[in-house]
Amino acid sequence: MDKELIEKFVKDDERLDILKRENIHIIQSPSVFSFSLDAVLLADFARLPKKRKATIVDFCSGNGAVAFLLTGKTYNPIIGVEIQKNLFDMAKRTVALNQLENKVSFLNADINAITAYIEPDSVDVITCNPPYFKDLDTSRKNSRDAYTIARHEVFLKLPQLMAKTSQLLKMNGKAYFVHRPDRFFDLLDAMRDNRLAPKKIRFIYPYVGKEANMILVEAIKDGKEDGLKILPPLYIHDDSREYSPEVKAILFGE
pLDDT digits 0-9 by tens, 30-65: 877 677 899 999 999 999 999 999 999 999 999 999
Could you tell me the end-to-end alpha-carbon distance of the chain, in angstroms, rounded to an integer? 23
- Residue 199 maps to which CATH number? 3.40.50.150
The residue type of 117 is: Y
Which domain, by its residues, includes 174? 3-252
Question: What confidence score (pLDDT) does residue 166 get?
Answer: 98
Question: What confidence score (pLDDT) does residue 133 get?
Answer: 55
Judged on CB neighbours under 10 Å (0-12, 13-18, 19+), 40 is buried
Backbone angles phi, psi at 154, to 5 degrees: -70, -50
Backbone angles phi, psi at 214, to 5 degrees: -150, 155
Number of domains present in the structure of the chain: 1
Q: What is the pLDDT of residues 148-187, one digit of tens each?
A: 555 655 668 999 999 999 999 999 999 999 999 999 999 9
Total-model pTM = 0.91
Contact 26, 68 (CB under 8 A): yes
Report how far residue 142's alpha carbon sits from residue 134's, in angstroms, rounded to the nearest whole number: 14
